[in-house]
Amino acid sequence: MKLTSKFLFRLSVGILLSIQSAMALTVQINGDLPEDVLDSLNGASLLVEQANNEDAASQDPYASATADYARLLAVLYEAGYFGAEISIKLDGREAANVSAINAPKTANSAVINIQPGPVFRYGTAQVKPIAPGTELPKGFATGETAGLSTLRGASERAISGWRDLGYAKARIVDQKVTADHRNAILNAALQVNAGQQLKFGNLTVKGNRRVRTERILEIAGLPQGEVFSPEALDKSAKRLRRTGAFGSVAFSEAENVGLNQTLDITLDVSEQRRRRVGFGGDIATSDGLSLSAFWMHRNLLGGAERLRIEGEISGIGGDTGGDDYRLSARFERPATFGPDRDLYALAELEELNEVNYFTRQATVGVGVNWIASDRREYEYGVGLMAAETRDAFGEDEYLLFIIPAETRRDYRNNQLDATKGYYLRANAAPFAAIRGSDDGVRAFGDYRIYRSFGTERPVTLAFRAQLGSVFGPSLADAPSDFVFYSGGGGTVRGQPYESLGVDVGGGLIAGGRSFLGLSAEARFKVTETIGIVGFYDYGFIGSDPLPSEGSGDSQSGAGIGVRYQTPIGPIRFDVAVPVDGPNESNNFEIYIGIGQAF
């Protein structure tokens, strides 16, 4: 006996999949079908899965075969084959003919024969009414291949189009799907009932134990009384996840509409562990070893407040002048000035023992972090910075009042290994000198862009431009940790760390008031896990606030690198040599880290 649907398939050519299991079960699928459909059939078959399973002795091949009739038919429907004749024989017996009571517990071979028949195409492809601006799938149109995926897609888009306009209870109320077997035509007509436009009603919170309900409502920021919007629900969920206090966030809509066309919402949350620790490291030939660690509390005061304490030691064993130390604490309170504006307060102690200068400083500040979207953030605040410094101009002490502001736009497809998109970070920090310096502004920008070509062995071109300026104080009076140097892993690879500055005579180098950095990389994918990179870096340091010819010196470096892909990002190994510049030498530098260089 053969299990047959209403439609016919034409048998012409077959493929063979033979896999030995503990029971020596082999599976053969025959059918004149495209390769992608055959792949899908293999993926859907429980018999194929059983043949791949080393523990096949514990499985019933007849039960798998019985289930495969429906599973394989569903794959064929997805591909537009709405007429199917499927035969599954185990050791020569049609599986559908075998009684479940007397079915043997083992089988040595399974042969699946499929006659695909013609591919059905849409005759009528209609959904009405649809909301203004709704775009149905391109494949849901007269003459296109008929498939369940496009039919479902048309239904889902029709409903989501109305939901986007506030009609939360929109649904399909009638669907007429008929097949013309003689002409291989599928006619589909769907009827939508949009219902009423609804508004957000009450939000009920469940599952929270330590985070207060009123704070969850503030963070979610669901606009009660406004027109229902799935996008508003998505934004609320992202705000809650962004705090780090919750492991899962799920909204559910009430079954019934409330008074005045309102729709109540239930929010179910599960909380994360409150405390988290982490550590990291980086090493380079000249920069030395850097070690960092942090401790974080994700619900400090019961309102999803976050406190992060972080320490770092860098320059260990390097040629950067000595070991550097940093200890910082940052407190963040979400949804303080609105659902997308978080309050932060920070304190930081830092000591830098660099080749050309020394500084010991303390910074405190408060501000606001505005998350405008998934891709755009803005940060602004006020702070005080006190420092003791020593550089080419001697020793100094200063106290500054700072008003920092920063914007970040991240349109990369992957932060650690981008292949397309761009990233922009730009900041400006006006400062007023209470003592030890002059008033001024420090500005810095970092722009990166990525383009990829090819599919089998893709090549990614990555470019980076950095620009920094200090306006106001003279070179001698500018805060020594506000000025710029070039050389090392973050600027020009192959050149010694911070080797380029402004020559002030007597063999002394001071930081410049302007910096221009340019980098280019060509990243070649060799295998799924191995990549090769070629790169070139350029840096310019000038004594004027803006880079200009004759106001400073430049340097460059080039090299090659290897990338090894891991679940947490590519491991980076770069070897670079200097190309030109005042400190040109025959030495080479090695850089190791996690993630691409930029």
What pLDDT digit, counting tens, does each position of 156-209 carry?
Answer: 999 999 999 999 999 999 999 999 999 999 999 999 999 999 999 999 999 999
Give the pLDDT of residue 212. 97
Confidence of residue 58 (pLDDT cuts 50, 70, 90): low
Nearest to 246 by CA among 224, 265, 219, 278: 219
Q: Judge whether 440 and 478 are in contact, CB under 8 Å.
A: yes
Lowest mean pLDDT among 64-68, 162-166, 233-237, 340-344: 64-68
d(CA 598, CA 594) in angstroms, rounded, equals 11
Nearest to 437 by CA among 489, 383, 398, 476: 398
266 pairs with which residues across the strands? Answer: 204, 252
Q: Is the pLDDT of residue 8 over 50?
A: no
Give the pLDDT of residue 150. 94
List all residues 6 or more positions away from 182 whose beta carbon is below 8 Å from its beta carbon.
Answer: none
359 pairs with which residues across the strands? Answer: 352, 389
DSSP summary character for residue 180: E
Radius of gyration in angstroms for the set of CA atoms belonging to the chain, rounded to a whole number:
32
The pLDDT > 70 percentage for the chain reads 94
Region 105-124 average pLDDT: 91
d(CA 170, CA 134) in angstroms, rounded, equals 14
Max Cα distance, the chain (Å): 99
d(CA 105, CA 115) in angstroms, rounded, equals 28
d(CA 543, CA 510) in angstroms, rounded, equals 9
Q: Judge whether 219 and 240 are in contact, CB under 8 Å.
A: yes
Pairing of strands 14-17, 26-30: antiparallel
State residue 74 phi and psi, 5-degree precision: -65, -40
Q: Is the pLDDT of residue 60 over 90?
A: no
Give the pLDDT of residue 107. 84
Q: Judge whether 274 and 210 are in contact, CB under 8 Å.
A: yes
d(CA 514, CA 541) in angstroms, rounded, equals 6
d(CA 8, CA 118) in angstroms, rounded, equals 8
Quickly list DSSP for 111-129.
EEEEE--PPPEEEEEEEES
Q: Is the pLDDT of residue 19 over 60?
A: no
DSSP summary character for residue 273: P
Give the pLDDT of residue 402. 97
As separate numbers, helices (DSSP H) first and strands (DSSP E) second, the chain gives 6, 31
Report helix, strand or coil for 35: helix
502 pairs with which residues across the strands? Answer: 510
List all residues 6 or more positions away from 567 whose beta carbon is below 8 Å from its beta carbon.
Answer: none
Q: Is the pLDDT of residue 20 over 50?
A: no
List all residues 6 or more positions away from 278 whose beta carbon is below 8 Å from its beta carbon.
Answer: 293, 294, 296
List all residues 6 or more positions away from 535 whose beta carbon is below 8 Å from its beta carbon.
Answer: 493, 519, 520, 521, 522, 558, 559, 560, 561, 574, 576, 597
Per-residue pLDDT of 503-544, as tens digits, reads 998 888 999 999 999 999 999 999 989 999 999 999 999 999
Q: Is the pLDDT of residue 560 over 80?
A: yes
Nearest to 338 by CA among 297, 298, 378, 382: 378
Question: What type of residue sits at position 202?
Answer: N
Per-residue pLDDT of 355-400, as tens digits, reads 889 999 999 999 999 999 999 999 999 999 999 999 999 999 999 9
Confidence of residue 585 (pLDDT cuts 50, 70, 90): low
Region 282-298 average pLDDT: 87
Lowest mean pLDDT among 37-46, 49-58, 339-348: 49-58
d(CA 393, CA 509) in angstroms, rounded, equals 9
Give the pLDDT of residue 167. 97
Q: Judge whether 497 and 472 are in contact, CB under 8 Å.
A: no
What spatial distance separates the first Cα and last Cα of the chain, rounded to whole Å?
64
Tokens of 418: 């981008």
The mean of the pLDDT values for the chain is 90
Neighbour tally for 494: CB within 10 Å: 28
Give the pLDDT of residue 21. 37
Report helix, strand or coil for 165: coil
Confidence of residue 450 (pLDDT cuts 50, 70, 90): very high
Q: Is the pLDDT of residue 12 over 80?
A: no
Per-residue pLDDT of 138-160, as tens digits, reads 999 999 999 999 999 999 999 99
d(CA 553, CA 143) in angstroms, rounded, equals 66
Q: Is the pLDDT of residue 412 over 90?
A: yes
| pLDDT, greater one: 353 or 585 | 353
Nearest to 308 by CA among 385, 248, 244: 244
Q: Is the pLDDT of residue 597 over 60?
A: yes
Please tell me the chain's helix, strand, coil percentages from 3-state DSSP, rounded to the nearest 5.
15, 50, 40
Give the pLDDT of residue 76. 94
Nearest to 560 by CA among 580, 576, 584: 576
